[in-house]
Amino acid sequence: MGILNVTPDSFHDGGRFDSLDAATGWAGAMARAGAAIIDIGGESTRPGSEPVAVDEEMRRVIPVIEALTAVLNVPVSIDTGKAEVARRALRAGAAIINDVTALRGDPQMAETAAEAGCPVCMMHMLGEPRTMQENPYYEDVVGDIKEFFRRRIEFAVSRGIKAENIILDPGIGFGKTVQHNLAILSRLDEFSSLGRPLMVGASRKRFIGTIAGEEDTGRRLPGTISANVLAFANGASIFRVHDVAENFQALKVAEAILLKSGRSGQGPAGA
Ligand code: 7PJ
């Protein structure tokens, strides 16, 4: 899954033609590099970030989705917690909902996903972006997230979402210390009994910078690849990344080795 951010720090005006052009150009490049999904987000969920109004989020993402889906043949996912944004995005051509609130942010989101009958990624987050990194605590981070997944699957299915449309994401960096992130990545196999595909978003995140002593997010690709390859070996199948070509190559090689060793039955669903 290739990341396309249309937040002000990347594309100042999502409605302007040159920005649209840049967005479609970059998405096309990610698709050619192996991305099986393009994930578009118009609201930053970085630690400490403030929420964005519906109209503003819409203004950022809808024109880009329309432009992309007109020329691209890979599915587009909409990274939003807002049902109205998701609904408009689906109408504009998006095919997947990526909800970092796991259907908790907007009471209409479950119904929106059920009606659309589309895949929906439910991500674990402890607290909310503004405060989530202030002292996150778990009894047992993997056990707690697994219980969270169980409850969210139950909720989603009770609202008419088909179990086979559910993707689970432990939410690396969303209310987690470095130690929590490492425990999750090393124990992903414990989520396999839930029977749903696992997605991991480790790309260039802070825990990599902390471990490697690298402040510059643009220089965290080696750490990202390391996290993704091991996540793949531990059962993840969707990798949300900024650097599609590099992660794709690493995962193809990891897949070939794991297949040879007989340790993996499942290839990467995408970069
Ligand atoms: C994730 C996401 C993630 C899913 C972001 C960033 C923060 N969606 N959206 N999983 N992260 N499903 O990329 O640094 O980890 S935004």
Q: Domain containing 239 — which CATH number? A: 3.20.20.20
Length of the chain measured in residues: 271
Task: Measure the CA–CA gap between 208 and 167, rounded to whole angstroms.
Answer: 24
Q: Quick check: is 265 in a domain?
A: no
Task: Categorize the per-residue pLDDT at 19 as very low, low, confident or very high, splitting at 50, 70 and 90.
Answer: confident
Is the residue at 197 inside a domain? yes
Whether residue 18 lies inside any domain: the answer is yes
Q: Is residue 267 part of a domain?
A: no
**Mean of per-residue pLDDT scores for the chain:** 93
CB of 201 closer than 6 A to ligand 1?
A: yes
271 located within any domain: no
With a 6 Å cutoff on the Cβ, whether 224 touches ligand 1 is no
Give me the mean pLDDT over the 161-179 stretch.
98
Inside any domain, residue 112: yes
| CA–CA distance, 207 with 152 (Å, rounded to integer) | 26
Range of the structural domain that residue 245 is part of:
2-260
Q: How far apart are CA 165 and CA 185, in angstroms?
A: 23
Q: Is residue 212 part of a domain?
A: yes
Task: Give the chain's domain count.
Answer: 1
Distance from C-alpha of 75 to C-alpha of 230, rounded to nearest angstrom:
26
How close is the Cα of 252 to the center of ligand 1, in Å?
22
45 lines ligand 1 (CB under 6 A): yes
Give the rounded distance of the alpha carbon of 31 from its chain centre. 16
Give the pLDDT of residue 204: 97
User: Is residue 269 in a domain?
Assistant: no
Separation CA 65–CA 37 (nearest Å): 13
In which band, very low, low, confident or very high, does the pLDDT at 66 lie, cut at 50, 70 and 90? very high
The pLDDT score that the predictor gives to residue 10 is 52
pTM of the prediction? 0.94
How far is ligand 1, taken at its centre, from the CA of residue 73, in Å? 23
